Chain A
Amino acid sequence: DTGVSQDPRHKITKRGQNVTFRCDPISEHNRLYWYRQTLGQGPEFLTYFQNEAQLEKSRLLSDRFSAERPKGSFSTLEIQRTEQGDSAMYLCASSHRDRGNTEAFFGQGTRLTVV
């Protein structure tokens, strides 16, 4: 697989439940990003990792959200006590730092619906 993959593609959950999404970046990419996209809007930055270090978090990322990248490879994004306002497409992207500002490759996203 040469692209960014995300799992699951779709998730329907009841309000108050916890959910976890996974992202597998392109293998040689050391930077990984999470974005959230709601209908009719552009992706909004949530957080980013360089290797295993989480270097920046958006103020959009409330304390119910946590992201990890334990071995500098795949990443997980967990949302605790989901709310209806969390319904969105969660996109992961990766890039390679040592090549400067090169293309960020996006995954196909995980669409979360909170009912």
Chain B
Amino acid sequence: GENVEQHPSTLSVQEGDSAVIKCTYSDSASNYFPWYKQELGKRPQLIIDIRSNVGEKKDQRIAVTLNKTAKHFSLHITETQPEDSAVYFCAASPSGGNTGKLIFGQGTTLQVKP
């Protein structure tokens, strides 16, 4: 079935350090992989996404890598800041992404200590 596993569930880093969150997916036909940030009591918001024809994408301090063979993708945040503290969700769009439906991971609570 369609499944996305996300690790770790919690991550605590010192301000300025890097943070890495990893996800694996089960449906090899998945072709779209967004990452969402959700602050307490707020809606999930897209921070970066990657499509299956690309191995890496970067946007300022945030980067995402994709390994289609291993069905892994990862979020990298460099030079973390306290405002990066939130819950991060990875997701995959299964079955070729024709529906836009997303299967989400369980989330990672990131705490950046000043």
State the A residues within 8 Å of B (CB): 4, 31, 33, 35, 40-45, 48, 55-56, 91, 95, 97, 101, 103-109
Contacts and interface: CB of A to CB of B under 8 A. Distances in A.
A56 B101 contact: yes
Interface residues of B, number: 26
Greatest chain B CB density within 10 A among A4, A40, A45, A107 is at: A45
Contacts of A42: 4, 6, 89, 91, 104-107
A91 B106 contact: no
B90 to A, nearest CB: 8
| Closest 9 pairs (CB-CB, A-B) | A42-B104, A101-B32, A106-B43, A101-B97, A108-B43, A103-B46, A42-B89, A106-B44, A43-B104
A44 B104 contact: yes
Interface string B78-114: 0000000000010101000101111111110000000
B68 interface: no
A97 B107 contact: no
Contacts of A43: 44, 89, 102, 104
B43 A107 contact: yes
Interface string B39-61: 00011111001010000000000
Given A42-B107, A101-B31, A101-B51, A55 B89 contact: no
Contact of B106 (A35, A41, A104): A41
B66 to A, nearest CB: 14
Given A101-B32, A106-B43, A109-B43, A41 B107 contact: yes
Contacts of B106: 40-42
Given A45-B101, A101-B100, 17 more contacts: A31-B99, A33-B101, A33-B102, A40-B107, A42-B4, A42-B107, A43-B102, A43-B104, A45-B102, A45-B103, A48-B99, A48-B101, A56-B99, A56-B101, A97-B100, A101-B97, A103-B46
